[in-house]
Amino acid sequence: MTISTTSGVSGVTADWWDFDILVPDANAGNLTIAGQIQAAAGTAQAVSATLALPAAPSSGTIYVNVQVDVTAGTVTLQQSTSADPAPINTNNVVVYRTQLTSATTDPMLVSTQSTPDAQ
C-alpha cells in the first residue's frame, strides 16, 4: 500500500516535503520512501530510500518511525520498545510512524498509520 504525505507549505517560509511511502503487506518487509524535501528558503532535494521494517515482536510493542533530515535529505528508521522515538534533531521531520505488536501480521492493518509532523 502506498501512503502519500505532504507538508502543505511552500518551502519558502517553512520546511516542505512531498513523499510517497510504500508499506509492505507482510511482516518484516521493506518500506520504500521517495519524494522531495526542502528546508525553508532552501533548495528542494530528491529523497529515495528502502528501509527494512523490524519483525513484529513475540510480545509487547515496537514503535517505529521514519524521519527525514530537511537539510541533508537523509532518511532514518528509528525503533523503540517503550515509546515513539523523538526526532533525532531539530532538522528531522517524522514522515511515517506505526506500532507493531505481537498480533501484527500486516503493517498496513495497524491503527496508527501515517501521522506526519505538523508544520
Between CA 55 and CA 8 the distance in angstroms is 32
In a domain, 96, yes or no: yes
pLDDT tops 60 at residue 4: yes
Rounded to the nearest 10°, the torsion over CA 108, 94, 74, 55 is -40
In a domain, 119, yes or no: no
DSSP string, the chain: -EEEEE--S-SSSS-EEEEEEE--SSTT-EEEEEEEEE-TTS--EEEEEEEEPPPPPSSSEEEEEEEEETTT--EEEEEESSSPPPPSSTTEEEEEEEEEETT-S-GGG-SS---PPP-
In a domain, 19, yes or no: yes
Between CA 53 and CA 16 the distance in angstroms is 25
CATH number of residue 51's parent domain: 2.60.40
**Cell representation of residue 111:** 491503527
Tally the domains of the chain.
1
State the residue range of the domain holding 81: 2-109
In a domain, 104, yes or no: yes
Identify the pLDDT of residue 114: 47
pLDDT digits (tens, 9 = 90+) for 81-96: 999 998 898 889 888 8
pTM greater than 0.85: no
